[in-house]
Amino acid sequence: MKKVQVEEVKSLHSRRNFLRISGITLAGAGLVMAGCSSDDDKGSNGNSNQLPGVRDGKFDLGGGDLGVLTYAYALEQLEADFYTRVVNGNSFGSTFNAEEREVLEDLYNHEVIHREFFKAAISGVISSQDQLLPALQFDYGSLSFSNRTQVLTTARTLEDTGVAAYNGAGRYITTPDYLVLAGKIVSVEARHASAIRSLLNPGTAAFAGDDVVTSDTGLGQALKPSQVITAVSALEIIKTPFTAQFLP
């Protein structure tokens, strides 16, 4: 195990290179998703009543494949906004050392790519812009972006939640192309989580701790959309109300 721990610390540079390469690849993958079946805007069961859109004054994420994609888009908006605030904060240079800044900047760039990827991909398959989740508003309350521990701990929570969200949502995706792309994204999100955990606890096994990777199966945590939305709502960061009536 000690060898694995040492290699994990040494692999930060390789992971950063991986994030850059996969980010470039993912940016172009939106063209694949946008070119999928024209029936996608009807949901996985062809039910146009479950399309994303405003219901009772609030935006609902919808159901079927498009609902899952919109759900992922909401989570990516949150992560992109968080890292945008981190790297653009006045104390970024003094709060984090050079290695930490490089990791956080890479995660910032990558999450922005994720966000824009989903926005472009969903826009390519919906029939009306009213079906596109609007830009969400966020408020981090008492979180101090000049406090290293608070920022990295929050990042760990968001990344761990994101991995569990993709792992749990995969079973509800019926379009093969979407499932393949979601699989690629979750593999990158897992590397995000590992990188943050390594910054918080360098030289330990925390990068794949038992709290996120089960010791009996070696599999990452998987949560249903309703579980993730409840957990994220409890953070009280997302201030734009939305519903998810048709997601499990």
pLDDT tens sequence across 31-40: 344 334 444 4
Q: Is the dihedral of CA 93, 187, 113, 17 positive or negative?
A: positive
Question: Is residue 39 in a domain?
Answer: no
Question: Is residue 52 in a domain?
Answer: no
5-9: long-range contacts, CB 8 A cutoff, minimum separation 24: 5/203, 5/204, 5/205, 6/203, 8/194, 8/198, 8/207, 9/198, 9/202, 9/203
Q: pLDDT tens digits for 46-87? A: 466 899 999 999 999 999 999 999 999 999 999 999 999 999
Q: How many domains does the chain contain in total?
A: 1
Question: Is residue 135 in a domain?
Answer: yes
Question: What CA–CA distance (Å, rounded) separates 80 from 112?
Answer: 5
Question: Is residue 87 in a domain?
Answer: yes
Tell me which residue range forms the domain holding 20: 2-34+60-241
Question: What CA–CA distance (Å, rounded) separates 148 from 38?
Answer: 46
Task: Specify the DSSP class assigned to residue 38.
Answer: G
Question: Is residue 51 in a domain?
Answer: no
Mean pLDDT of 39-44: 44
Question: Is residue 162 in a domain?
Answer: yes
More confident residue, 37 or 224: 224
Question: Is residue 50 in a domain?
Answer: no
The pTM (predicted TM-score) of the whole model is 0.81
What does the block give as tokens for 199?
Answer: 């910054």
- Could you tell me the CA-to-CA distances from 127 to 33, 53, 149, 244 in Å, in that order? 15, 11, 44, 20
